[in-house]
Chains A and B, each alone.
Chain A
Amino acid sequence: MSRESSLEERALVVGGRPLIPGLGEVILEAPRLARELRPGQFLMARVSPWQDPLLGRPLGVSAVRGSQITLMVAALGRGSRALLALRPGAEVTLRGPLGTPFPPPAQAPLVLAGGGFGVAPLMYAWDELRAGRGEVPTVVLGVPDGSWAPLERLVAHRVGKHLRVFSDDGSLGERGTPCDALEGAGEVWACGPPAMIRAMARCAPPEMRLLVNLDQRMGCGYGGCLGCTVPTVRGPVRACVEGPFFDARDVDWGALEELEGRS
């Protein structure tokens, strides 16, 4: 067996907009990726034709519309800022689809829990699940406070009544965190910052299937460099091939905590 098609292509920026300070959307004309990328998979984007920054940046896809894909990008460092600064007409090199798609849901009801911009890939998953025959899942959005209202409006616009919002201080939606939405769920797909993911893994009952994102720094994205491994009960496993979403029961949480430098 071998890959059929190419993995990299030039894509044209066709639009985008800021959402809140430090977070924005970028829309790209990328016909091949729009066709091939399944929910749960990701891509790597490389903005600079120069050698610095050198590596592509891993990003999820929040929407696919025809031949266009939407990225939701948080401005963290040079790569993400460069991506957000692009104007329509600019070109980006995209590598993908990368990673393993979400499996079919196994246990109803399904909840998609996003922490901040971690909701992005879950919105694309929600679109596809709604288009399918199964039950429409609930989307849970957890944010720090009311300053995230523009993101809440964006998600609400997409998923309507299927949205539940939690904020740490109660200034948007209910007071609480996505953990508070675990009750009654049969299966949860969670995507967010490490602290949220760890909290979800702690409060999920053992019989629940909880899929979590474990984001790592990535070099190649295609399984070659072994730079992105996460500790699992089966030993180190690549986030870019076997992930980026993992069954929380397979993760070696102690080793992961050390990796994230919080021990």
Chain B
Amino acid sequence: MRKRSVQTRVGGVILDSPLIVASGVWPLERDLWPREPLPFVGAACTKGITLEPREGNPGVRLWETPAGVLNSVGLQNGGVRSFVERDLPEMAREGVPLVANVAPLTEEDFDPLFGALEAGAEHLAAVELNLSCPNVACGGAAWGVTAKGVSRAVALARSRWRGPLWVKLTPQAADLGATARAAEDRGADAVVVANTWLGMAFDVERHRPALARVVGGLSGPAIFPLALRCVWDVAGSVSIPVVGCGGVTTGNDVISMLLAGASAVEVGTALMADLGAAKAMMEAVEGHLERFGLDTISSLVGAGRRA
């Protein structure tokens, strides 16, 4: 790997591969990292990091659905200080560019959260602001559901973080294009489109919702067409780079995301299911470049939008 042909650029970061490990499927402890995907990914997003440690949600946290998974993990993590002091320096030794996925739960969280991250800035290629997380002050509605919420969150983050800032939008927004433009207006370097879709399942043996919180986030191949459509829409509404995320599983999915206008893709569930997926995807992408006589994947980005 590490070929020029598959390099890409996302909001101030040069990646050796368009595949990025999505937040939530990769351990914070480097000694647990499976080796297989590493040579084929351009960066890895951490689990969602909050200001204070969180125990996450009780009850069943994962529920498999047709070609997908519902999750209700609830941002279990040891808090930003333990991340910066204990996990991050060790993770950085791997040499894979790291993107910190951060989840502020109140407006007051931004200052200390980004303040603590500053101490680890040398190890971070970018920060990814997770706007699917609940803003406690808004009755728990996600920051990302309205353009107003996005403006507020991105402005707060931008004033505290000088490095590359990626904003991960939620597909629960009524007008995703408007939230993407709000992120761009407030200084985001890239938007990640998107996150999981809210869904639910019943455990029919118990006559109860499968997840204690009733709803969970749906990921995996089942959501790919939905995510692709979001990328198509957003890439037409902003001029900053777009990272496609949601259900990317095969080489054709990667190529489709690029054609729709994404500069890179994040892959979560597909790696969780199959550690060989990153290699298979990149081999397929390279094969595609060869068949079409293309020198670099950048010639694919947005190519599907031209008349």
With A220-B272, A224-B25, A225-B24 as contacts: A2 and B64 at CB distance below 8 Å = no
Name the A residues within 8 Å of B206 (CB-CB).
261
Interchain CB contact under 8 A, A218 and B35: no
Interchain CB contact under 8 A, A236 and B76: yes
- Asked if A226 lies at the interface with its beta carbon under 8 angstroms from chain B, I say yes
Interchain CB contact under 8 A, B34 and A46: no
Interchain CB contact under 8 A, B31 and A1: yes
Interface residues of B, dominant DSSP = loop
Name the A residues within 8 Å of B273 (CB-CB).
46, 51, 54-56
Interchain CB contact under 8 A, B32 and A241: yes
Interchain CB contact under 8 A, B275 and A8: yes
Instruction: Output the residue of B32, B47, B269 with the most chain A CB within 10 A.
Output: B32
Interchain CB contact under 8 A, B32 and A54: no
Interface residues of B in 29-58 (CB under 8 A from A): 29-36, 47, 55-56, 58
| Chain A residues at the B interface, C-beta cutoff of 8 Å | 1-3, 5-8, 46, 51-56, 93, 95, 217-220, 222-229, 231, 235-236, 241, 255, 258-259, 261
Which stretch from B7-15, B66-74, B129-137, B165-173 is at the chain A interface? B66-74
- Asked if B290 lies at the interface with its beta carbon under 8 angstroms from chain A, I say no
Name the A residues within 8 Å of B27 (CB-CB).
222-224, 241
Name the B residues within 8 Å of A255 (CB-CB).
58
Name the B residues within 8 Å of A55 (CB-CB).
64, 69, 272-273
A-B contact count (CB 8 A): 117
Nearest CB in chain A: distance from B273 CB, A = 5
Question: Can you show 26 pairs from A to B with CB atoms below 8 A apart?
Answer: A1-B31, A2-B35, A2-B94, A3-B34, A3-B35, A5-B35, A6-B34, A7-B34, A8-B34, A8-B275, A8-B276, A46-B274, A51-B67, A219-B71, A223-B29, A224-B26, A225-B71, A225-B73, A226-B61, A229-B56, A231-B58, A236-B56, A255-B58, A258-B59, A259-B59, A261-B206
Name the A residues within 8 Å of B58 (CB-CB).
231, 255, 258-259
A60 and B276 CA atoms in complex are apart in Å by: 22
Partner of A51, one of B25, B62, B249, B272: B249
Nearest CB in chain B: distance from A78 CB, A = 9
Query: Chain B residue with minimal CB distance to A4?
Result: B35
Nearest CB in chain B: distance from A231 CB, A = 7
Name the B residues within 8 Å of A225 (CB-CB).
24-25, 62, 71, 73, 272
Interchain CB contact under 8 A, B67 and A261: no
Query: Chain B residue with minimal CB distance to A255?
Result: B58
- Asked if B214 lies at the interface with its beta carbon under 8 angstroms from chain A, I say no
Query: Chain A residue with minimal CB distance to B247?
Result: A51
Name the B residues within 8 Å of A51 (CB-CB).
67, 220-221, 249, 273
